[in-house]
Structure 1
């Protein structure tokens, strides 16, 4: 269970003042599929990054299974995996195989066993054929899946994805959405893809740094459409 209690996020500005990015957030996140929606700059990515300690709250607390993101960050990051909108921000080595091996390094000491395990992980998600290709030669969907596999290989309990389908064409969007739907993990996504959001169990709407709706997908997506109109 992820719990946010009295959370606010404030950041300094270039003029010496500060800007409130998020305020008044109290949440318990226990459903297996949760989507965050909202306009650009609404605060949804800030909220998402709080969940594994990429951002710390200025006020309040965020805990994952009782572990505080401020005081127990290493445990939180083992429990909560995070994927970025642009997989090239996450894939740091030349090939998918290299990246997944890097993820496995702490748990699989033998180099040959680590390579075999990395290939197995890639094969599970249809990437064995491109395991040793340059990440720059992969399609957008293959890059997103490779980034996803590099996180899944660490075996987190929760997967948090920041706009995982935004940069993809329809075919690759459907591919990534299908993989996310089939995972046994708790999956929390921030997304502009309302079809993806509609398949969640619970949808959160963020607007102007505040949580303005929380509930069943149809009702919350309907509220979002009203706000955007």
Structure 2
């Protein structure tokens, strides 16, 4: 899935003035897995949200496989899935099975088709033993695996993941990372502070002060990031 960003500027209200969160970002993202790195407040999450149509540009455009993220937001939502750091923000149904099935609502599938796809997804994500458990009874790691399962059951073309492993222990971090970076899975735009995880992506971009300052192989982009860090 190709993401084309041209002259992107994103602003936000800051009292009586407008704060600039991103400015003059222009790039093309076409790798299967792309890491977005940078310091806190640099604009990484703002970029991810703009690609997903959640942040409206003050100037410039963002196209995801030809879809304008503003004018064609409805079509975009069917093709893009989100995964956030806090799974409690997106795990909303009473039980695990119901939460995964929610993604397929309104897609014209029969009950049998929905049940089949949900069961298959639960097995793939090793969640079948938890299928009828209340979502609120799960650990944070189990909830994040559920959130990822619910995203992927919808078969998106692109998954935007914003710090999806930051709250997880080592076991669940590995499980989520393995699923996200699956060579046979959807394309992934991964916002992360985990530089080892970023190294496993095919491409990386560095955001600093609201601007894209480097794009290329992860090793090169990470080296450029480390040069910006204080000694």
Q: TM (normalized to structure 1)?
A: 0.95
Matches within 5 A, 1:76-225: 76-182=76-182, 183-225=184-226
Contact kept, 8 Å, 1:51 with 1:80, in 2: the verdict is no
Give RMSD over aligned pairs.
1.3
Q: Which runs of 5+ in 2 are unaligned?
A: none
Q: 1:107 deviation in Å? A: 2.2
* Matched residues, number: 228
CA-CA distance at 1:109 after TM superposition: 4.1
- Partners of 1:27 and 1:111 lie apart in 2 by 42
Partners of 1:214 and 1:220 within 8 A in 2: yes
Aligned to 2:39: 39
Q: Which moved more, 1:163-172 or 1:110-119?
A: 110-119
- Does the Cα contact within 8 Å between 1:141 and 1:175 map onto a contact in 2? no
* Counterpart-to-counterpart distance in 1, 2:109 and 2:76: 23
The separation in 2 between residues aligned to 1:152 and 1:109, in whole angstroms, is 16
Quote how far apart the aligned CAs of 1:13 are: 1.5
TM-score, structure 2 as length reference: 0.94
Q: Tell me, yes or no, if the aligned pair for 1:205 and 1:211 is still in contact at 8 Å.
A: yes
Higher deviation after alignment, 192-201 or 111-120: 111-120
Q: 2: distance between equivalents of 1:29 and 1:76?
A: 16
Q: 3-state DSSP class of the match of 1:159?
A: strand
Q: Tell me the SS of whatever aligns to 2:143.
A: helix
Query: Does the CA-based 8 Å contact 1:45-1:162 persist in structure 2?
Result: yes
- Partner SS state of residue 103, structure 2: helix
CA distance in 1 between partners of 2:124 and 2:116 (Å) = 12
Give the deviation of 1:123 after TM superposition.
1.1
Say whether residues 1:70 and 2:73 are aligned partners: no
Q: Does 1:5 align with 2:13?
A: no
Does the CA-based 8 Å contact 1:140-1:172 persist in structure 2?
no
CA shift in 2, pair 1:65/1:78, >3 Å: same
CA positional deviation for 1:126: 0.6
Determine if contact 1:85/1:167 at 8 Å carries over to the other structure: yes
Rounded to whole Å, the distance in 1 between the matches of 2:118 and 2:52 is 24
Partner Cα distance (1:142, 1:108) in 2? 29
Point out where structure 1 has 5 or more consecutive residues left out of the alignment. Answer: none
Q: 1:8·1:25 contact (CA, 8 Å) conserved in 2?
A: yes
